[in-house]
Each structure stands twice: as structure tokens, then as C-alpha cells.
Amino acid sequence: MKPYQDLKTRTKKFAANVWRMCNDLPNTNAYWAYNNQLIRASSSVGANYRAALRGKSNADFINKLKIVEEETDECCFFMELLLEINPTLEKTITPLLKESGELLAITVTSIKTARSKN
């Protein structure tokens, strides 16, 4: 599988796994606000990665990857926050935090590589 295909699959799987985790959280107003942000950010990671692959120029590619970077970091923040609020979520959130950290590292490296081609 080509690297970009692998990342398309990983970012989509990440969004689906975050959704499943959020769907299992208590249905309260307090959780709902964080769930909403986390679901939006996690799905934006995959959507913007796909948009980056269709970038019209190297600069467009980098701009879209910067959005992926920001949204992935936002996912990390909300998962860390949920973990702070409810430590019993550790078993569920830890693998998602690991994946978001890996996606973030890959994205940052890709941005650096793309910038070096200018």
C-alpha cells in the first residue's frame, strides 16, 4: 500500500475510533460539549489530509497539512482533558492518544519535508 493510502486509511480509522469512544461516554451536557469538539476535530484530520493530497501546489499542500496538524493536536487536547476529568477512561483513551501522537508526528515530518522542497 502506498504511504498516502495508508494515511488515508489511518486517519479515517482514527475518526471512526474516536466516534466510537465518544458514543460510549455518558450522555450529559458536560460530556456532549467535549464529544462534539472531539468528533469534529478527529473527522477533520482525515478530511483535510485527503484535501492536502489534492493540493494545487506545494504551498496548498503545506497549508492543508497545517490544518491536519492543528486538528490532530486539538484531538490530543480534548482526549487529555477527558482523561483528566475521568481517569477511568484511560484504557479507552490511551490507544487513541498514541495514534493521534503518531499521526501528529507524521504530519509534522511531512510538512518539514514539503517545505524543504521549496
- CA angle 61/13/51 to nearest 5° reads 20
- C-alpha to C-alpha distance for 91 and 88, rounded to whole angstroms: 7
Length of the chain in terms of residues written: 118
Domains in the chain and their CATH numbers?
3-116 (1.20.1440.60)
Tell me the average pLDDT across 86-107. 96
Write down the pLDDT at residue 115.
93
Query: Would you tell me how many other CB atoms lie within 10 Å of the CB of residue 107?
Result: 25
- C-alpha to C-alpha distance for 4 and 53, rounded to whole angstroms: 8
pLDDT band at 117 (very low <50, low <70, confident <90, very high): confident
Query: Would you tell me how many other CB atoms lie within 10 Å of the CB of residue 27?
Result: 8
> Which residue's entry shows cell 514539503?
114
- What digits encode the pLDDT tens for the residues 12-35? 999 999 999 999 998 898 899 999
* Residue 4 pLDDT > 80: no
* Residue 108 pLDDT > 90: yes
* Residue 62 pLDDT > 80: yes
pLDDT band at 56 (very low <50, low <70, confident <90, very high): very high
